[in-house]
A and B are shown apart, each in its own frame.
Chain A
Amino acid sequence: MSLTTTNIGTVNGLTGQRQSVSRRLQHLLHTNPWVSPLVILVLSIAIFTIINPAFAQPRAISLLIQQTAVIAALGVGQTLVILTAGIDLSVGAVSILATMLSAVLAQDAGLPGWVAIIVGVLTGTLGGLFNGFLVSKLKLPPFIGTLGTLSIFTAISLLLSGGRSIQATELPAEMSAGGERVPIGPFDLNIGVLVVIAIYIVVGYALSQTGWGRHVYAVGDDAEAARLSGIRVNRVLLSVYAVAGLIYGIAAWVLIGRAGAATPNGIVDANLASITAVVIGGTSLFGGRGGIIGTVLGALIIQSFTIGLSLAGVDDQFRVLAVGFLVIFAVAADQWIRKVRA
């Protein structure tokens, strides 16, 4: 159980000299699931830099961070949901709904930019609340509940927008402000990236330092045990899906800034991409173990493959291949690490 993880760690530390190297590694990864993605990311950057030295330059690293921002933001919500042993297939659909509703209202109803942004964030939150209602009150399996809302939210976005994209030039400036450049030292970042970093700091603090965070882990680890120890499981689940939705709403704004347009066809595979990032980041699909540091590392790993292979002049098919192997490796590693409980 994750609540007792620290105790196990201490015991192992005391008897460390009698353990094999692999047992120690297993325990290190069990208590710090973000270590293996960090190692993979460093290796990935090192190898691609050897192939093409342009990779380790500020320009490439800036691009890596910019391209990762949206999936990294959506990944925070996905991580929260997966920590409760759930899954969210509607992540991209909620975000696109927030994007299109705010853009359509700004363009057609002349809503001021900042009001439209708030509407977008609220839309995301409501979408998340609806998912949470399905999972906590109607007791739908998260996979099924969010599979349904994936279709519902996608359809509403299309009905609202009529399938058209709205260029940023036709929207109030605030709505695409996420794409405004912010040079920091040699790095070329943007406002959207800074907002995503802020999301990580806030959610990272909430998960590790607050009672709510401990409850999220407890519910994911063993919902029944959590209930018996006095945690209101349904309320925790509802709050997790709502916070996830809120983050998707903010990500929607980051997305408009990044693409330079509000488009119903954006982030086609966001659900799979965010789940991939979470899994590569070492968060267990069985809930209760992992965290958002791993997720951002996972997202950066996938994107470093894209940029690195592109710089190496390798065709796209091989990137898809590489990510596939990486996912299998990550889940196999998770299975191995989980044996520590036995």
Chain B
Amino acid sequence: MSACAGDTAAPGADDEVKVTLILKDLVNPFFVALQKGAEAQAEKDGVNLTIASGKKDGDEEGQIQAIENAVLKGEDGILVLPAGPAVNSAITKAREAGLVVIALDTPPDPIDTTDQTFATDNFEAGKLIGEWAASATAGTDVVIALLDQFDDRIIQTDLNRDQGFLTGMGIDTADLGQNGDEAQTGTFSGGNYTIACQEATTGAEDGGREAMENCLTANSDINLVYTINEPSAAGAYKALQAAGLEKDVKIVSIDGSCEGVANVASGIISATSQQYPVNMATLGVETIASVVRGGDYPPVSDGLDFYNTGTALVTDATQDGVDSITSEEATEICW
């Protein structure tokens, strides 16, 4: 296809494509990795990339403004990590104005709000650490602490990881669309379980530490800790260390950042599911560049309504029947 003149013709392969990447905040290492990945790919594909963001995670109005400004600027496409459902109507307006809108990391609800989504299968990521934990603790009575992200709002990532973990453990989750409705005691695939507590961490170290402290106050027999992400896992470890219990407890988590993988190597985190933000960013930039120049969207993954950017279990205590990579291998591809 050659470059054509005129407003209505699709841009040719050599024309610059303009894209705005809208993050949730500018500080979370995951978003920073994603931004760097997008910038690198933009360079390759001749994409002019602008970064925008909400003021902090959950700032829907900030993202709405960023979307409107991208439309005004005449961007060809938007990559967005939706902060919440209120962003939906701004996304719809942007698509009506002819922009390609792709969600990264966080699938919008409903999923067809955006043209496509590139994200981790968070349920699968949770399930992997659940399966590992079930196998590693088989034959013992497990006392579980569930350290989620929020208790004041429902986001799909938080919900799916939690429910995926319980499913991997072989625990009946009752309603998969709801956190916390599972039986507090019962049996998992390797024996009896008790859920000692379910606390919110906001996904940060200080929140993780406080949540773990609360849990230990409620029940000091906890021997398995699920954490929503690695910063909260690091915080939980500090609380366990302060209580002198760190040797007896297994912490499982999700992220696969370089810091988290190092914590797997040093035994702070027993197992983590690694996700690939750079992959999401690369695919997102590539797809907008290609679609604007007349190409197609890559198909969604089998059995899912979005494109799964993959996840791998990282642990140095391999369990039979649970596929995993070592912390050494994960270090090569961490972010």
Partner-B contacts on A (CB < 8 A):
54, 59-60, 63, 66-67, 70, 158, 162-165, 167-168, 258-261, 263-269, 303, 306-307, 310-311, 313-317
Contacts and interface: CB of A to CB of B under 8 A. Distances in A.
Nearest to B52: A316
A314 B329 CA distance: 37
Contacts of A311: 69, 72-73
Contact of B86 (A63, A261, A306, A313): A261
A264 B153 CA distance: 8
A307 B72 contact: yes
B61 interface: yes
A265 B88 CA distance: 14
| Nearest 3 pairs of A and B residues by beta carbon | A260-B89, A163-B153, A310-B69
Interface of B: 20, 26, 48, 50-56, 58-62, 64-66, 68-70, 72-74, 83-86, 88-90, 150, 152-154
A329 B168 CA distance: 56
A310 B89 contact: no
Contacts of B85: 165, 167, 261, 263
Contacts of B65: 67, 303, 306
A307 B61 contact: no
A265 B150 contact: no
B73 A261 contact: no
A268 B61 contact: yes
A260 B90 contact: yes
B59 A261 contact: no
B86 A266 contact: yes
A260 B86 contact: yes
Contact of A158 (B48, B53, B88, B152): B152
Given A265-B60, A267-B61, A268-B55, A167 B68 contact: no
Nearest to A169: B89
Given A265-B58, A267-B61, A268-B61, A307 B69 contact: yes
Given A263-B60, A268-B61, A307-B72, 16 more contacts: A54-B73, A163-B153, A165-B84, A261-B86, A261-B89, A265-B59, A265-B86, A268-B62, A306-B69, A310-B52, A310-B73, A311-B69, A313-B48, A316-B51, A316-B52, A316-B53
A3 to B, nearest CB: 39
A269 B51 contact: no
Nearest to B89: A260
A67 B88 CA distance: 17
A163 B89 contact: no
Contacts of A259: 60-61, 64, 86, 89
Contacts of A306: 65, 69
B84 A265 contact: yes
Contacts of A269: 55-56, 59
Contacts, number: 100
B72 A59 contact: yes
Contacts of B61: 70, 258-259, 266-268
Contacts of B55: 268-269
A70 B64 CA distance: 13
A63 B68 contact: yes
B72 A63 contact: yes
B162 to A, nearest CB: 15
A314 B52 CA distance: 9
A264 B96 CA distance: 27
B260 to A, nearest CB: 25
A265 B73 CA distance: 26
A263 B26 CA distance: 22
A70 B60 CA distance: 14
Nearest to A155: B152
13 contacts: A163-B150, A165-B86, A167-B88, A167-B89, A258-B61, A266-B86, A268-B54, A306-B69, A310-B70, A311-B73, A313-B48, A314-B50, A316-B53
B58 A316 contact: no
Nearest to A270: B61
Contact of A163 (B50, B74, B152): B152
Contacts of B54: 268
A158 B86 CA distance: 16
Nearest to A308: B69
Nearest to B155: A163
A267 B59 CA distance: 7
A77 B51 CA distance: 33
B86 A268 contact: no
Contacts of B69: 63, 306-307, 310-311
A54 B69 CA distance: 12
B89 A168 contact: yes
Given A167-B85, A260-B86, A260-B88, A265 B153 contact: yes
